[in-house]
Amino acid sequence: MNDIASTTWRMLAQRTGGRELPRGLDAAWDTAAGMAQKLLPRTARFLRQAETVLGYDKEFSKLTEAKLREQAGEYHDMFRLGRNSAADLLRAFALVREIAFRQIGLKAYKVQVAGALAIYAGSIVEMATGEGKTLSATMPATVAGWCGKGCHVITVNDYLAKRDAEEMGPIYRFCGLRVQAIDQESTPPERREAYNSDITYCTNKEVTADYLRDRLAMGRLTGLSSALLAKIAEGDQSGTDRIVQRDLNYAIIDEADSVLIDEGVTPLIISGEAPNAEQVQAFQEGAEIAAKMKRDLHYKINHKYREVNMTKEGKAFAAKLTEPLGGIWAGQRRSEEMLVQALTAREMFLLDKQYVIQEDQVVIVDDFTGRLMPDREWRDGLHQAVSAKEKVEIKPPKDTYARMSFQRFFRMYNRISGMTGTAVEASGEFWQFYHTPVVIVPTNKPCIRKQLPTRIYPTQDEKWQGVIDEITKAHEKGQPILVGTRSVHDSERISLMLNELEFEHEVLNAVRHAEEAQIVAQAGQEGRITVATNMAGRGTDIKLGRGVAELGGLYVMATDRQESGRIDRQLAGRSGRMGDPGMVRTFVSLQDELPRRYATKTAEFLQKRHPPREGKPRNIANPMTRRMFNKAQKRAEHTAFKQRRAVLKTDHWLDEYLGFAGLER
């Protein structure tokens, strides 16, 4: 009964999604505090503490396995009772470091220990790719597990959750802790058992979905007393026994920038079927009408905000075509909304870029990773509009039972921290939204990766030819190559060009994560060519094959500038890990999406100066073109930040004005 009471109280109390964003003078003060925390010598402090931890190495390395286990038990009791001091924390980290060496053969370096200390202190830690973030997380996770309130280690996909739980499990179990992983196939009893473990590995999607399902299970219960009375009166029918989670105490988030920033405003929705034949027919009719409308005459496109706006001529044209249809089309406002949706699907959502067709279904492609998301749909009828455009099966929009953004969900934890290879660009946002400072941990060995000058071409055709020419040059000497693309379409275009040259290569564009990780792990072998959408295989180290270092290391070729500089750095970070040599070059064109959306006039001006022509690709990189791309990226980042801030404000508005309902429906 105590567990039920505790969980029920948490479910009812954690409605606010964290603190509200400050306003007025409070906002100014909070911003100033955020700027001030950047000046604190956090990295130096954690490195000094790491030196102290390493100083215990001789003491713990002499202990027998039985004595180590006994020490772990003593620290378990100490942290559970809250009787530990700052010195005890450092000794505990040293103990876990030694246990990790005995159990899995890895002993954390000084910088890994510093990262672990920063994580436990509630920071977002930037550690370069290949520097051992997974091992670093075991130290704060173990101490958090000893405290007895649970620790969630959040990863970006099921494969990584299961892999890390399995590989790091021996450390935790030696320390007297229970560890389990949750994936899509986990049953409710398995989930409940996993959440009741000391350490739970799971994805952001699974942990948020379980929270929403628990809220649905609570149903009408509005207070602790009503939950207890319902349990007594109704037993298993009260809903309390269907709850799988316990308190949202502490989360360590791997790839924190992806989870908290890039996917932060993505809503996770629990929904159900809502058959509606009339609505399905309307989507088909909307697609047919949209196909008859002419751009610039009937509608105009705002590429920056990805909006379609109908003109007066378009509205008149639409009214004429929809008048005989009746039904949903009878109302002018609803009619125009349906057509704008159909036009948006036609103009802004492109096959093999935002989605693919699989088994007569539209499947979304994630903008940041290039992976398929078969379990997601665009909202407000957009998914159905795209299906109608492609003439595939249209499933009616589902009824939403509960929804929540990841941003809102993770603000509910008592404490969060994280790690990633790229955080510094988003340090202000991490502070403003989550009050977590960013700590940059240096690499164990100096980074000797070469950042080659960006090549800028007038047209996309010239860009792709330039990429192929560079691949050919590097491949002739056996240097391994990783080509990063923005979309599935781009990866397949490169693949076709490589096939024409009869170059063997691997293409990763949203395959299963386990296969993806295995292929990416081999990308550093001599002569390998790997083509991958954005961050395929993120979380998997690329080790260089024999003799590859002498060839210059892994050559990463980015074929686009992303809308966030962090994502560009993520791809670049696949090369030059752990002091290895490596090379990175970016290839862009004036026709790419970034300049077209965020530097439209400048891009059009430059295109007129460099009209398309046959022959050798022209590299027009100069201070002006480079400045244009930099400004476009900054504008894109600022636009995305404003959108995330708006979503957070909306979350708080819903909590404040709809809180009486107990559940957002």
Residue 234 is predicted with a pLDDT of 55
Does pLDDT of 657 surpass 70? Answer: no
Query: CA dist 441 to 45, 48, 94, 121, 516, Å?
Result: 11, 12, 19, 14, 28
Mean pLDDT for 451-463 is 96
Domains and CATH numbers, the chain: 2-270+406-440 (3.40.50.300), 274-397 (3.90.1440.10), 450-634 (3.40.50.300)
Q: What are 405's two structure tokens?
A: 């953004």
Average pLDDT along the chain: 86
* Residue 155 and residue 201 in contact, taking contact as beta carbons nearer than 8 Å: yes
Residue 20 is predicted with a pLDDT of 61
Of 63-77, 105-119, 480-494, 498-512, least confident by mean pLDDT is 498-512
Q: What are 349's two structure tokens?
A: 């959502």
The answer for residues whose C-beta is within 8 angstroms of residue 581's C-beta and 6 or more apart is 448, 449, 450, 549, 552, 553
Does pLDDT of 176 surpass 60? Answer: yes
Residue 12 is predicted with a pLDDT of 42
Q: How confident is the model at residue 476 (pLDDT cuts 50, 70, 90)?
A: very high
Residue 120 is predicted with a pLDDT of 97
Q: Distance between CA 439 and CA 418 in Å, rounded?
A: 10
Of 270-274, 304-308, 549-553, 657-661, least confident by mean pLDDT is 657-661
Amino acid occupying residue 50:
A
Does pLDDT of 474 surpass 70? Answer: yes
Closest CA to 137 of 176, 105, 87, 97: 97
Query: CA dist 73 to 78, 102, 145, 146, 176, Å?
Result: 9, 17, 12, 9, 7
Chain-centre distance for alpha carbon 540: 15
Q: Distance between CA 360 and CA 211 in Å, rounded?
A: 32
Q: pTM of the entire structure?
A: 0.82
Residue 333 is predicted with a pLDDT of 86
Triad 249, 254, 259: Cα angle to 5°: 85
**pLDDT per residue as tens digits for the range 432-446:** 889 999 999 999 999
Higher pLDDT, 649 or 186: 186
Does pLDDT of 15 surpass 90? Answer: no
Of 30-44, 309-323, 443-457, 573-587, least confident by mean pLDDT is 30-44
Closest CA to 436 of 3, 19, 5, 2: 19
Residue 229 is predicted with a pLDDT of 53
Higher pLDDT, 367 or 253: 253
Q: How confident is the model at residue 501 (pLDDT cuts 50, 70, 90)?
A: very high
DSSP class of residue 513 equals H
Q: What are 402's two structure tokens?
A: 């509960």
List phi, psi (to 5°) of 245.
Answer: -90, 160
Does pLDDT of 4 surpass 60? Answer: no
Q: Distance between CA 137 and CA 566 in Å, rounded?
A: 22
Q: Distance between CA 658 and CA 647 in Å, rounded?
A: 16
**pLDDT per residue as tens digits for the range 27-50:** 666 666 666 666 567 899 999 999
Q: How confident is the model at residue 514 (pLDDT cuts 50, 70, 90)?
A: low
Q: Distance between CA 330 and CA 341 in Å, rounded?
A: 17
Does pLDDT of 583 surpass 90? Answer: yes
Does pLDDT of 239 surpass 60? Answer: no
Triad 160, 165, 170: Cα angle to 5°: 145
Q: Distance between CA 156 and CA 125 in Å, rounded?
A: 17
Higher pLDDT, 173 or 651: 173
Q: How confident is the model at residue 598 (pLDDT cuts 50, 70, 90)?
A: very high
Does pLDDT of 224 surpass 60? Answer: no
Q: In what helix (H) or strand (E) does residue 328 lie, and over which residues does it extend?
A: none
Residue 537 is predicted with a pLDDT of 56
Mean pLDDT for 323-328 is 84
Does pLDDT of 498 surpass 70? Answer: yes
Residue 31 is predicted with a pLDDT of 66
Residue 237 is predicted with a pLDDT of 52
Q: What are 547's two structure tokens?
A: 């003799």
Residue 196 is predicted with a pLDDT of 95
